């Protein structure tokens, strides 16, 4: 029995769903977080004391933190596919997962919240501008890395493409000015075309 707790509007839940779908693993997704609530309930806090999504349960095993879930799924169910067998390639996947979590997604957070989840009359343009500036720096770094590459690490799709793809999906669909990044755009369209991404990446909300 495998259960994933979390609403699909969460970029972190999207990564876990994308991983599950890529690996063809059966799962039940339970709406939680945001308007769905539940994350403050005692039974949920017993699963994740942080009160955040996602949380995955698998045959009595409980795991939270989206990239930890993605790493676990890729290592346990997708060795040689989503998770490279070569230690150096695996190290690079870890590198990009950490960068996504600590740099790219945090840089876009304020622009996302201000333009998608905040009423226009309550938005703070200075906050948006700072977030866009930080996001542009990250997008430029990723675009330079992807120039001449089909995927983020090595010559095939890995867990790094999932984490980076979910973050890029959010960035490219924000209603903010941005510099066009040809390599980033081409890579995004490539990974976005995967059937699993179609399940995992809804319109921003």
Which CATH number do you get for residue 170? Answer: 1.20.1050.10
Average pLDDT, stretch 109-119?
98
Domain count, the chain: 2
Q: Does pLDDT of 137 surpass 70?
A: yes
Query: Looking at the structure, do residues 175 and 94 belong to the same domain, yes or no?
Result: yes
- pLDDT tens digits, residue range 31-52? 999 999 999 999 999 999 999 9
Q: In this structure, is residue 60 part of a structural domain?
A: yes
- Provide the edge-to-edge strand list for the sheet that holds 28-30: 28-30, 2-5, 55-58, 61-64
For residue 117, being part of any structural domain is answered with: yes
Residue count (the chain): 205
Q: For residue 203, what is the DSSP state?
A: P
Residue 118 has pLDDT above 90, yes or no: yes
Mind listing the pLDDT tens digit for each residue in 65-102? Answer: 999 999 999 999 876 689 999 999 999 999 999 999 99
Domain assignment present for 202: no
Domain that holds residue 179: 87-197
pLDDT at residue 97 in the model: 98
Does residue 205 fall inside a structural domain?
no
**Dist. CA 141–CA 50, nearest whole Å:** 31
């Amino acid at each position: 029995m495998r259960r994933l707790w979390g609403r699909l509007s969460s970029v972190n839940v999207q990564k876990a769903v994308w991983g599950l779908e890529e690996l063809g693993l059966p799962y039940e997704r339970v709406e939680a977080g945001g308007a769905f609530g539940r994350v403050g309930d005692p039974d949920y806090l017993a699963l994740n004391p942080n009160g955040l999504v996602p949380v995955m349960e698998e045959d009595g095993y409980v795991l939270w933190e989206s990239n930890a879930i993605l790493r676990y799924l890729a290592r346990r169910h997708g060795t040689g596919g989503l998770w490279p067998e070569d230690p150096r390639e695996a190290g690079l996947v870890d590198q990009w997962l950490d960068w996504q979590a600590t740099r790219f997604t945090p840089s876009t957070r304020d622009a996302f919240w201000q333009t998608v989840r905040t009423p226009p009359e309550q938005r703070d343009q200075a906050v948006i501008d700072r977030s866009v500036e930080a996001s542009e720096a990250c997008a430029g770094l990723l675009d330079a890395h992807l120039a001449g590459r089909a995927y983020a690490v090595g010559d095939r799709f890995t867990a790094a493409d999932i984490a980076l793809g979910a973050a890029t999906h959010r960035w490219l669909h924000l209603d903010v000015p941005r510099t066009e990044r040809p390599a980033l755009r081409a890579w995004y369209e490539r990974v976005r075309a995967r059937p699993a991404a179609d399940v995992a990446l809804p319109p921003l909300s």
